């Protein structure tokens, strides 16, 4: 039986003993549930709060969508969290951000020049006003007044 299955005789014998003893893993599993490393958020319950405090001032997003992004890189966030006694890798930061609904790529303006100096202050002001309104049950409406007009090499004159 070991040749057609590609398993060693020891593995097959062990599996038979587990089935007979009733200690075999549930169907569809190779190992018993509950094994493995604990989640980093279980090891460090304050980690998510610390991450949120770091990204809150730098959070951006489409006001009509729950998708958000941050201007800080995952490596920068990991380094800052590690300095604040929350050792973490940039890959785990990316995973935590993804779980919280953050996109791992930001919108980037190309060939348009830099941002207006007050742009960050505008985002912060709008964010503060929305945070005050939502708990009161006041509706929040966001209107994007920019109209994109393709010009120059991006112009599309149609047929």
The pLDDT, as a whole number, for residue 56 is: 76
Residue scoring higher pLDDT (103 or 61): 103
Residue position matching structure tokens 């590690």: 82
Residue 83 has pLDDT above 90, yes or no: yes
pTM beyond 0.85, yes or no: no
The pLDDT, as a whole number, for residue 73 is: 85
Max CA separation in the chain (angstroms): 76
Which sign, positive or negative, has the C-alpha torsion 14, 15, 16, 17? positive
Model confidence at 133, in pLDDT bands (50, 70, 90)?
A: confident
Which stretches of the chain are DSSP H helices? 2-5, 9-21, 40-43, 47-55, 74-83, 90-99, 119-133
The pLDDT, as a whole number, for residue 108 is: 54
pLDDT digits (tens, 9 = 90+) for 50-63: 998 888 766 666 54
The pLDDT, as a whole number, for residue 75 is: 92
pLDDT digits (tens, 9 = 90+) for 4-40: 888 899 988 988 888 888 888 888 877 777 767 888 9
């Amino acid at each position: 039986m070991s040749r057609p299955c590609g398993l060693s005789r020891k593995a097959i014998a062990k599996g038979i003993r587990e089935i007979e003893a009733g200690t075999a893993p549930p169907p569809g599993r190779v190992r018993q549930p509950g094994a493995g490393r604990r989640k980093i958020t279980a090891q460090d319950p304050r980690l998510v709060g610390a991450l949120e405090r770091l990204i809150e001032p730098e959070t951006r997003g489409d006001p009509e969508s729950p998708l958000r992004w941050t201007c800080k890189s995952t490596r920068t966030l990991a380094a800052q969290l590690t300095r604040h006694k929350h050792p973490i890798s940039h890959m785990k930061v990316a995973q935590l951000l993804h779980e919280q609904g953050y996109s791992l790529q930001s919108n980037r303006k190309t060939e348009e020049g830099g941002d207006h100096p007050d742009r960050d202050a505008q985002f912060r002001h709008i964010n503060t006003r929305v945070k005050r309104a939502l708990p009161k049950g006041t509706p929040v409406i966001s209107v994007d007044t920019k109209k994109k007009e393709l010009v120059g090499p991006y112009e599309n004159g149609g047929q």
